Structure 1
Amino acid sequence: MEQLDLFADLGEPEAPKAGKAITLPKPTAGQWANTAAKPQPQQPALIPEAPRRPRPEFAISPADGAAFGEKVSTAWHQAHGGNRMEIPLGIVATLALWPQKGYPRTLAEFLRGLDAQQLVACVREVAAYWWMRRPDLIDTASVLFRWAEQDTYAANELQAIRATFHAALDANALDHTGHEDPELNADIDLMSWAVTSLRHHTARQGLGEYHTPPEVCDMMAAQIIGRDPEAIHDGYSILDPCAGTGGMFRSAAQHVRGLGKDPARLTWFAQEIDPYSAAGCAVNMIVWGMGPNAMVACGDTLAEGDMWNRAVEHRRMLVKARDDAAAAMAIARAVRQVERLVSQGSEAA
């Protein structure tokens, strides 16, 4: 399935309707309690995962998610990058969102040849590129990119930035996200592994942050969605009130693809309280090709409830800001062209 043109007109997504929406559940601690002494009811047979087409091999096999997150975290901390986890997360997001697809080895060598300041410029360029195409998602993910707007950096930060870029490249980040086909970019949630590896375990405990293992997400998506392709049709909504970085969406999208359907034609709406995880989810919505009706809201689901209307208004505001900026740039370009023509005419005279 090809990536949709995300710069196309972003119309208003249809609000989820009863009977057309799936709300993805979350496993509770009680599910995993010790129940060995209690007789268990017979469980229904698990619905097998829909078949996927083979993944083409790149020059180097991609690392698994846990190894990727560990390498990124180790590189950042060994280079004494400090406690600003938005910087290494922004580096992972930059590589995941890099618009040039299909040449991971060439691109990796190019990036390895850049100094730290040039790599920071790459972060700014990638954020600007995608802001023009999905301003709502990039605004939600802006916590991962704002640091690149600084004028100066400490020497240890520059060293850590370059070391982290190299570690992510050495862990073959581009092999996970460097495909033209978004289906092949959704095998692993790199943002989830980066968040959980960079955040201290006591901080995760304090936040109650426990990302659902991908194997469990795959099983739950297969059970909830089922095997009937006719049950999932254009305009269907899939919602996650505690989305993390979107791991359940990844599994659901891959299952939908296995049924021969395009997830970019569905509506995906994620709510997440942690800004870093919400930012990672917004990045993933682009990387995984979730389409123009994918939205992410950052807020407390328990306190605020359904944030759909807020997310739609946020999207409307950012699209207008994008369009106004594009119009201003077009006018500025036209003025420069006129000035150049006048200058050339004056010289000829």
Structure 2
Amino acid sequence: MDLQLDLFAALASESEQPSKPAPAPRRAAAPTTTTRPTVAAAPAPCAKPAAGRRFSDEGAHRTAVALGEAVAGAWHRAHGGPDMAVPIGLVAALTLIRQRDAHGPDLKAQILAQQPRELIEMYRQIWAGHWQARPDLIDRARVLHEWLNAPGEIDDHRAYCVEVVTEAALKAGILDLTGHPDAIERSRTDALSHVIMLLRSDGARQGLGEFHTPPSVTTMLGEVMLAELSTETTMEAKGPQAGQHIHDPAGGSGGMLRAAAQALRWRGHDPADFQWSMVDIDPIAAACAAVNAIVWGLGPNVVVACDDSLANPRAVEDARAHARAVIAHRNQVMGTARMIAAVRRTQALLETAVAA
């Protein structure tokens, strides 16, 4: 039975799959196949709509808090260890999938029916599929999934921890928060922010200067960002204009950008028509921001830098150059893969002809 995974659901439009690097921001005057994993047969659940639950903003924030508590609790009870990138990476991967067929087998039930080693392979394929579509963002999120590429280090205990964290995240409602086909519904909260905060110790957070910003504050600051954009436009074209650049120099996991994107949508704009950038010194926070940019539908012109914006005023430009290199590498890899596939098809045709 195939999982009803839509690995490219958040990147379905052509604009979400950049064939070339994003242009420099301006002010308006302004490695595997993409086949879906197969799993052991699961009990046939009742069909249900793919849209999932609809939350109010407050309800989504409460569910995100409960999600963070559930994941942190499961990881610690399983004695998962100090590498918090593992449980955060599992939740991040789950935010990237959703039910493909509204009347097909229930995605949550299918995932829960998998064995630990099958789950690990599923996670590899989720990241690999999205790398092909958005290598710039998935490479920025590498700290969350690079452990999957060291299969010799994934022992039975690590596989068990993967299973219990996956179960905790699914039962706490991760697919309800991020599995909706409507980007407005997927963007009601930052599902990864509370997971980070609850897994990281107080001392580590203070050392990084990392503190959770309440959703009500990010919403207000998102409005402030748009107000600043409006002051840059001409008197004849008041309000945000497509192509403008929205930047957060201390972005965390992207909460301000989420709020600004939602404010744009409520004004009738598509966030994919704007340019987005952010910087954060914490690799895990920056990785989560890169994943969130996909989940929230920010579009092809997104740059996430992991740097100190005070020490390096060119952090965004440096990150953009790195993104260009990653996209070029993806294009080379995919071109080589297509050439190999074409050669194999030709060989098969020749062998068939000779046999005849």
1:18 CA drift (Å): 7.7
Gaps of 5+ in 2: 1-9, 31-50, 231-236
1:233 maps to a residue whose letter is: Q
Show the counterpart of 1:58.
53
Correspondences of 1:267-306 after superposition (within 5 Å): 267-306=275-314
Within 1, Cα distance between the matches of 2:210 and 2:270?
30
* 139-148 vs 62-71, greater mean Cα deviation: 62-71
Whether the 8 Å CA contact 1:101–1:178 is kept in 2: the answer is: no
1:111 maps to a residue whose letter is: I
Root mean square deviation of aligned Cα: 2.4
Q: Secondary structure at the match of 1:98?
A: coil
Correspondences of 1:101-180 after superposition (within 5 Å): 101=100, 106-152=106-152, 153-180=154-181
Correspondences of 1:36-51 after superposition (within 5 Å): none
2:333 paired with 1:325? yes
Q: Secondary structure at the match of 1:190?
A: coil
| Structure of higher CA gyration radius | 1
Correspondences of 1:193-208 after superposition (within 5 Å): 193-208=194-209
Kindly tell me: are residues 119 and 259 of structure 1, through their superposed partners in 2, closer, same or farther at Cα, counting changes over 3 Å?
Answer: same
Q: Secondary structure at the match of 2:243?
A: coil
Show the counterpart of 2:189.
188
Show the counterpart of 2:221.
220
TM-score by length of 1: 0.84
1:126 CA drift (Å): 1.0
2:13 paired with 1:14? no
Show the counterpart of 1:79.
78
Whether the 8 Å CA contact 2:28–2:241 is kept in 1: the answer is: no
* 290-299 vs 97-106, greater mean Cα deviation: 97-106
1:4 maps to a residue whose letter is: S
Kindly tell me: are residues 59 and 170 of structure 1, through their superposed partners in 2, closer, same or farther at Cα, counting changes over 3 Å?
Answer: farther
Whether the 8 Å CA contact 1:59–1:105 is kept in 2: the answer is: no
1:301 CA drift (Å): 1.1
1:154 CA drift (Å): 2.7
Kindly tell me: are residues 99 and 172 of structure 1, through their superposed partners in 2, closer, same or farther at Cα, counting changes over 3 Å?
Answer: closer
Within 1, Cα distance between the matches of 2:29 and 2:218?
22
1:15 CA drift (Å): 2.4
Q: Secondary structure at the match of 1:268?
A: strand
Within 2, Cα distance between the matches of 1:210 and 1:12?
30
Gaps of 5+ in 1: 21-55
1:7 CA drift (Å): 2.2
* 267-276 vs 90-99, greater mean Cα deviation: 90-99
Show the counterpart of 1:98.
97
Within 2, Cα distance between the matches of 1:100 and 1:16?
37
Whether the 8 Å CA contact 1:192–1:245 is kept in 2: the answer is: yes
1:19 CA drift (Å): 5.8
Within 2, Cα distance between the matches of 1:261 and 1:230?
13
1:65 CA drift (Å): 1.5
Show the counterpart of 1:89.
88
TM-score by length of 2: 0.82
How many correspondences in the alignment?
A: 313
Whether the 8 Å CA contact 1:102–1:180 is kept in 2: the answer is: no
Whether the 8 Å CA contact 2:245–2:274 is kept in 1: the answer is: yes
Within 2, Cα distance between the matches of 1:142 and 1:111?
23
